[in-house]
C-alpha cells in the first residue's frame, strides 16, 4: 500500500487552473490512501466547500482519504507543529508495510520544513516536491474562494491535458540531510565515538569531503593504537601535524586517558599496568647512580630479565633489601613494576637519599602500585561493575596519605599523578590531543 501524507496549502487543490501539489502528486503517482493534515484555517475551508476532498476525488476517485484536523491557528510557529511529527509517527507505526510519499510543497515554510525532516527521519518515506507551473511563486493567482470557482478550475484544469508536463521531483534534501547527519557526527566525535562517526560518513559519501573521511579514519586508527597507519591516511591538516610527537608510549598513554574520560573504568585499569611499567623503565634507564642492565641477563623475548646472580654481583645490598621485602629468595624472571618500586624505595634510603624528585617519583610509584594491584584483581578475578566510586573505595583501604590525597584515589587522581610522573621523568608532559583533533574533524564537516 502506498500512502500520501500531506498538509494542505493555499495552492491546493487548484490555483490558476493548474494542479496544486496534492493533486499533481496524485496525478503522477499511484496512491491508495491520502492522509490530509489540516490547520484550523484549512479545516474551515474544507467544511465550507469540501474543496480538498472534491479536488482529490477529481484526480483519484478510488483513493481513501483520512483528515487530521489539528486546530492549529499559528502554522508559522514551529512549537505548534510538533503535532505533525506525533501524528505521523503514530500512523507510520500503524502501517508497517506501507510505502510513504510526503508532500514537501504545501503549507507554510515552517510546515514544509517539518515535512522534509520527516522524509529524512523515516526509512520508507520518499519526499515529493512539486514545482509551480511558472517555476516561481504562484501568488499572482488567487486561491479558490467559492465552490463555483473550485468546480470551474477543476473542470478546466490544464494539467488534465495529455501533454501537460510532470512537475514532480524527488529531492534528495541534501542541505537538510547534511545538517542532521552532521549534528550526529559532531555528537559522536565529541564523545570520541569515531567508528560510529566514520560509518555515517561512509554511508553518506556525497555529503562530505575526502578530508573529513580521512580525518575520522585517522582518529579510528589512533584510538586502536595504530598511529602509524593513522599518519599514512593523513598526517597534517592545514599544514600542521595531527600528532606533534608521535611515539608508542604517548599514544598509548592518551588512549588510557581516553578510557577514563569515557568512564570505561575496566579498560582504563587494564591499560594502567603497561603505562606504569613503561614509566618505571624510562626512569630506571635515566638514573646514573643505578644501571638496570647490570641486574639483568640478555633474553631474546624479554628486554629486562632480572637474575639473582647479576644482582648479587653488582648490587648485593639491593638484593638483600629485595629478599627482605619478599620474605623469600629472589627468583630470576622478567622485570615487574613491583620490583621497580622496591628498587626506587631502596635508592631513596641510599644513593638517592634526600633527592626530592626521586622521593616524589617513588611516592607516586608506590601508591599507584597499590592502586594497580587492588583494582586489577577486581577486573581480572571478579564479575563487578567497576566505577569511580569502587576504585576510590578499594584504594582507600589502609590508604597511605603520603600523596596528600585522603581516602583513596579516584580515576582523575590517578591520571593527575601519572601526568606528574611523566613530567618528572620525561621533562615534559603528554598533551591531550584528541579534542584538538575533534575540532579539526568538526571544522571539516562544514567546509
213 and 202 in contact (C-beta within 8 Å)?
A: yes
What's the rounded Cα separation, in Å, for the pair 430 and 253?
8
- Give the span between the Cα atoms of 62 and 433, in whole angstroms: 64
107-150 pLDDT tens trace: 999 999 999 989 888 888 999 999 988 755 555 666 777 888 88
- What percentage of the chain reaches a pLDDT higher than 70? 95
For 213-228, how does the pLDDT look when each residue is reduced to its tens digit (9 = 90+)? Answer: 999 999 999 999 999 9
Contact 322, 311 (CB under 8 A): yes
C-alpha cell recorded at residue 71 = 486546530
* Domains parsed from the chain with CATH numbers: 2-171 (3.40.50.10770), 175-244+436-445 (no CATH), 259-392+402-426 (no CATH)
pLDDT at 179: 84
With CA atoms as reference, report the closest residue to 169 among 11, 34, 25, 27.
Answer: 25
- d(C-alpha 115, C-alpha 112), whole Å: 5
- Strand arrangement, sheet containing 296-297: 296-297, 305-306, 333-334
Residues constituting the chain:
447
Residue ranges in the chain modelled with pLDDT below 70: 135-142, 380-384, 398-407
- What is the pLDDT at residue 401? 67
Instruction: Give the separation between CA 91 and CA 20, rounded to whole angstroms.
Output: 24
DSSP per-residue letters across 134-149:
TSS--TTSPBP-SHHH
Which residues of 352-435 form beta strands (DSSP E)? none
pLDDT score recorded for residue 212: 97
What's residue 246's pLDDT?
85
Q: What pTM, to 2 d.p., does this model score? A: 0.72
What one-character DSSP code corresponds to residue 208?
A: S
| C-alpha to C-alpha distance for 223 and 28, rounded to whole angstroms | 51
Predicted pLDDT of residue 149? 87
Name residue, grid cell 515535512.
Answer: 115
pLDDT in the model for residue 399: 66
Whether the bond between 241 and the residue before it is cis, its omega within 30 degrees of 0, is no
Amino acid at each position: 500500500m502506498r500512502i500520501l501524507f500531506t498538509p494542505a496549502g493555499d495552492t491546493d487543490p487548484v490555483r490558476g487552473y493548474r494542479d496544486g501539489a496534492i493533486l499533481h502528486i496524485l496525478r503522477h503517482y499511484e496512491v491508495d490512501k491520502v492522509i490530509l493534515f489540516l490547520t484550523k484555517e484549512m479545516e474551515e475551508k474544507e467544511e465550507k466547500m469540501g474543496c480538498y476532498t472534491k479536488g482529490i476525488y477529481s484526480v483519484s476517485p478510488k483513493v481513501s482519504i483520512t483528515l487530521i484536523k489539528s486546530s492549529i491557528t499559528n502554522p508559522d510557529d514551529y512549537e505548534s507543529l510538533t503535532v505533525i511529527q506525533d501524528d505521523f509517527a503514530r500512523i507510520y507505526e500503524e502501517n508497517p508495510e506501507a510505502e510513504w510519499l510526503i508532500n514537501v510543497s504545501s503549507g507554510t515554510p515552517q510546515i514544509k520544513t517539518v515535512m522534509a525532516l520527516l522524509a529524512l527521519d523515516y526509512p520508507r518515506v520518499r519526499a515529493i516536491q512539486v514545482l509551480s507551473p511558472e517555476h516561481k511563486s504562484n501568488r499572482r493567482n488567487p486561491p479558490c474562494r467559492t465552490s463555483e470557482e473550485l468546480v470551474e478550475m477543476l473542470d478546466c484544469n490544464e494539467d488534465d491535458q495529455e501533454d501537460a508536463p510532470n512537475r514532480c521531483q524527488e529531492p534528495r534534501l541534501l542541505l537538510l540531510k547534511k545538517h542532521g547527519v552532521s549534528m550526529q557526527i559532531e555528537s559522536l566525535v565529541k564523545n570520541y565515538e569515531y567508528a560510529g562517526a566514520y560509518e555515517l560518513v561512509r554511508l553518506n559519501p556525497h555529503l562530505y569531503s575526502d578530508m573529513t573521511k580521512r580525518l575520522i579514519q585517522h582518529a579510528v586508527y589512533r584510538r586502536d593504537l595504530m598511529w602509524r597507519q593513522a599518519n599514512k591516511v593523513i598526517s597534517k591538516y592545514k599544514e600542521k601535524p595531527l600528532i606533534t610527537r608521535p611515539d608508542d608510549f604517548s599514544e598509548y598513554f592518551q588512549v588510557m586517558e581516553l578510557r577514563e574520560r569515557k568512564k570505561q573504568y575496566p579498560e582504563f585499569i587494564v591499560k594502567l599496568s603497561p603505562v606504569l611499567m613503561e614509566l618505571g623503565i624510562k626512569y630506571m634507564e635515566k638514573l646514573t647512580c643505578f644501571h638496570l642492565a647490570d641486574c639483568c641477563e640478555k633474553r631474546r623475548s624479554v628486554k629486562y630479565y632480572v637474575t639473582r646472580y647479576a644482582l648479587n654481583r653488582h648490587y648485593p645490598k639491593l638484593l638483600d633489601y629485595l629478599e627482605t621485602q619478599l620474605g623469600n629468595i629472589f627468583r630470576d624472571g622478567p622485570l615487574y613494576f613491583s620490583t621497580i618500586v622496591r628498587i626506587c624505595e631502596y635508592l631513596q634510603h641510599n644513593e638517592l637519599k634526600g633527592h626530592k624528585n626521586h622521593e616524589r617519583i617513588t611516592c607516586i610509584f608506590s601508591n599507584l602500585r597499590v592502586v594497580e594491584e587492588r583494582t586489577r584483581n577486581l577486573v581480572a578475578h571478579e564479575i563487578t561493575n567497576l566505577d569511580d566510586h569502587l576504585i576510590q573505595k578499594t584504594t582507600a583501604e589502609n590508604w597511605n596519605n603520603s600523596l596528600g590525597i585522603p581516602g583513596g584515589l579516584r580515576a582523575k587522581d590517578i591520571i593527575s599523578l601519572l601526568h606528574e610522573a611523566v613530567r618528572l621523568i620525561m621533562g615534559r608532559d603528554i598533551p591531550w590531543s584528541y579534542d584538538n583533533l575533534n575540532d579539526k574533524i568538526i571544522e571539516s564537516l562544514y567546509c
